[in-house]
Chains A and B, each alone.
Chain A
Amino acid sequence: MQRVIEIIKEKAGKLLADGTVDRVIGWKDGEFFYDPTPAVFSAGELENLRYDSFCGANVSKYLIAETKKEGKILALLKPCDTYSFNELVKEHRVDRDKVYVLGIECRGKADINKIRDLGIKGIESIEELPGDELLVHTIYGDKTCKLNDVLLEKCLCCKSKTHVASDDLALTGEPMPEAPKDRFAMVAKLEMMTPDERFEFWRGELSRCIRCNACRNVCPACSCLKCVFDNDASGVASKANADTFEENMFHIIRAFHVAGRCTDCGECSRVCPQHIPLHLLNRKFIKDINEFYGEYQAGADTTSRGPLTDYTPDDVEPSIVMKRGGDQ
Chain B
Amino acid sequence: MYQIEKARLGELFARIAASGELILPVENNGTSQYGTWTPEVEVRLDRLNTVRSAKDCFFPQTENLMGFQMKGKEISIIDQRKPCEPFTVFGVRACDAASFGILDRVFLSEPVDTYYQSRRLAGTIVTLACGEPEETCFCSVFGIDAVKPGGDVSCWLTEDTLFWKSLTEKGDALTEKVKDLLTDGDEAALKAYQEKISAIHEKLPLKNLSLEGFNGDATEALFDRPEWAELSEACIGCGTCTFVCPTCQCYDIRDFDTGHGIQRFRCWDSCMYSDFTKMAGGNPRLTQKERFRQRFMHKLVYYPANNDGIYSCVGCGRCVAKCPISMNIVKVIKTLGVKNHE
CA distance A236 to B274 in the complex (A): 16
CA distance A204 to B27 in the complex (A): 12
Among B234, B273, B330, the residue within 8 A (CB) of A239 is: B273
Among A117, A140, A211, the residue within 8 A (CB) of B132 is: A140
Q: Name the prevailing secondary structure of the B interface residues.
A: loop
| A63: Cβ under 8 A from any B Cβ | no
* Nearest-Cβ distance from residue A240 to partner chain B, whole angstroms: 4
| A210: Cβ under 8 A from any B Cβ | yes
CA distance A213 to B274 in the complex (A): 12
Given contacts A38-B234, A140-B132, A204-B29, contact A240 B205 (CB under 8 A): no
Cβ A124 vs Cβ B240 within 8 A: no
CA distance A235 to B254 in the complex (A): 12
| B135: Cβ under 8 A from any A Cβ | yes
Given contacts A205-B29, A240-B62, A271-B324, contact A214 B238 (CB under 8 A): yes
Cβ B134 vs Cβ A122 within 8 A: yes
Instruction: Tell me the nearest residue of chain A to B318, going by C-beta.
Output: A273
Q: Which residues of A contact B105 (CB under 8 A)?
A: none
- Residue-wise, chain A 189-215 has the 8 Å CB interface mask toward B (1 for contact) of 000000000000000110010111110
- Residue-wise, chain B 222-258 has the 8 Å CB interface mask toward A (1 for contact) of 0000000010011011111011100000001010110
Question: Which stretch from A28-36, A77-85, A285-293 is at the chain B interface?
Answer: A28-36
Given contacts A37-B327, A242-B256, A242-B265, contact A275 B31 (CB under 8 A): yes
Among A31, A40, A216, A232, the residue within 8 A (CB) of B331 is: A31
Cβ A139 vs Cβ B62 within 8 A: no
Cβ A218 vs Cβ B29 within 8 A: no
CA distance A30 to B136 in the complex (A): 12
Given contacts A139-B204, A273-B51, A275-B29, contact A37 B243 (CB under 8 A): no
Q: Which residues of A contact B331 (CB under 8 A)?
A: 30-31, 37
CA distance A273 to B318 in the complex (A): 10
* Nearest-Cβ distance from residue B206 to partner chain A, whole angstroms: 8
- Residue-wise, chain A 28-69 has the 8 Å CB interface mask toward B (1 for contact) of 001110011111100000000000000001000010000000
Q: Which residues of B contact A240 (CB under 8 A)?
A: 61-62, 267-268
Cβ A214 vs Cβ B326 within 8 A: no
- Residue-wise, chain B 28-49 has the 8 Å CB interface mask toward A (1 for contact) of 1111010000000000000010
Cβ B62 vs Cβ A37 within 8 A: no
Q: For chain A residues 261-314, which have a beta carbon within 8 Å of chain B?
A: 270-271, 273-275
* Nearest-Cβ distance from residue A75 to partner chain B, whole angstroms: 14
Cβ A218 vs Cβ B134 within 8 A: no
| A20: Cβ under 8 A from any B Cβ | no
Q: For chain B residues 269-294, which have a beta carbon within 8 Å of chain A?
A: 269-270, 273-275
Find the residue from A57, A213, A217, A240 having the highest chain B CB count within 10 A.
A240
Given contacts A40-B233, A139-B205, A230-B275, contact A32 B29 (CB under 8 A): no
Q: Which residues of B contact A102 (CB under 8 A)?
A: none
Cβ B239 vs Cβ A211 within 8 A: yes
Given contacts A38-B234, A273-B322, contact A208 B267 (CB under 8 A): no
| B213: Cβ under 8 A from any A Cβ | no
CA distance A92 to B263 in the complex (A): 41
Cβ A271 vs Cβ B238 within 8 A: yes
Q: Which residues of A contact B298 (CB under 8 A)?
A: none
| A162: Cβ under 8 A from any B Cβ | no
Cβ B236 vs Cβ A37 within 8 A: no
Cβ A213 vs Cβ B239 within 8 A: yes
Cβ B61 vs Cβ A57 within 8 A: no
CA distance A208 to B32 in the complex (A): 11
Cβ A217 vs Cβ B327 within 8 A: no
Chain A contact residues, CB within 8 Å of chain B: 30-32, 35-40, 57, 62, 117, 121-124, 138-140, 204-205, 208, 210-214, 216-218, 230, 232, 235, 238-242, 270-271, 273-275
Known: A139-B203, A273-B51. 4 other contacts (CB 8 A): A32-B205, A62-B234, A213-B237, A218-B324
Query: 22 A–B contact pairs at CB < 8 A?
Result: A36-B326, A37-B234, A37-B327, A37-B331, A57-B325, A122-B132, A139-B203, A139-B205, A211-B239, A211-B243, A212-B238, A212-B242, A213-B237, A214-B240, A218-B236, A218-B238, A239-B239, A239-B268, A239-B269, A271-B238, A273-B240, A273-B244
